[in-house]
Amino acid sequence: MQNKRFQKWHLTLKVLPIVLLVIILKLLAHQFGLEFISLNPLFTGIVTANIFLLGFLIAGVLSDYKESEKLPGDLASSIETIVDECTIIYKNKKAKPAQECLGHTLDMTNSINNWFHKKERTRALMDKLSAFNDFFLAFESLTQANFIARLKQEQSAIRRMLIRIHTIRETSFVSSGYAIAEAIALILAIGLIFVKIDPFYEALFFVGAITFLQIYMILLIKDLDNPFEYYGEGPDEISLKPLQDLKFRIEEKIKSQEPYSSS
């Protein structure tokens, strides 16, 4: 809990050294009389334009982020539907393919968790998803056709969600927009160092505040643009708890069926 409380400040801690560097350079520029840029409406217009651009970028990535929040839960729901159908068939028929399918769903769930952490390739994951077809074929003599159709629908939904997650991870939102936002932020930081603002303590405040805001927003947008990164300790990654909880539920169902398999 305490670790999560500090995670929300991880971007702030990344930005502060940059802000401190700009403030030190501003102090040096003031000390050596290098403030040769006068503050005028054109300068403030550049600041406003960059904030507008950052707003456009964050609006774009937020739509993908909100969609991404639902995907792990939807994945867990579809996999658990397959688990429930396998459990019903096994309890009714004591069929070995149903028990093997349960084991495959556990393996699939573990693979999806590994895939999110870049420990498994997408191609291997898709092959495991297609391997459900062998189990569904074995179920044809064990259950009604509409049950098989439902399983195929869930398999298709899982495939669609995995492809969508892969696309979100591999695609950057308007990379040229990031480039111009970063370039303008750099130009503004340099300009703020050499602009003359009186009194000087106000100059330090505005230089620090504007630099902090723009760098923070750029880093936040990059974090939101790939919500499935899972490399650092940032809080902006989508929670995988639905899949982790599903893994434990499948393990419990498999354990509960061991007495049947031994009889």
Count of structural domains within the chain:
1
Q: What is the pTM of this model?
A: 0.80
Note the pLDDT tens digit of each residue in 47-60.
888 888 888 888 88
Assess whether pLDDT exceeds 80 at residue 87.
Answer: yes
158 or 39, which is more confident: 158
Residue 258 has a pLDDT of 58
Stretch 115-131: mean pLDDT: 94
- pLDDT band at residue 263 using 50, 70 and 90 as cut-offs: very low
Stretch 95-111: mean pLDDT: 95
User: Mean of the per-residue pLDDT values for the chain?
Assistant: 88
Residue 262 has a pLDDT of 42
Assess whether pLDDT exceeds 80 at residue 172.
Answer: no
57 or 21, which is more confident: 21
Percent of the chain with pLDDT over 70: 92
Stretch 210-231: mean pLDDT: 86
3-state secondary structure the chain: CHHHHHHCCHHHHHHHHHHHHHHHHHHHHHHCCCCCEECCHHHHHHHHHHHHHHHHHHHHHHHHHHHHHHHHHHHHHHHHHHHHHHHHHHHHHCCHHHHHHHHHHHHHHHHHHHHHCCCCCHHHHHHHHHCHHHHHHHHCCCCCHHHHHHHHHHHHHHHHHHHHHHHHHHCCCCHHHHHHHHHHHHHHHHHHHHEECCCHHHHHHHHHHHHHHHHHHHHHHHHHHCCCCCCCCCCCCCCCHHHHHHHHHHHHHHHHCHHHHHC
- pLDDT band at residue 238 using 50, 70 and 90 as cut-offs: confident
Residue 214 has a pLDDT of 92
Residue numbers of the domain that contains 248:
2-262
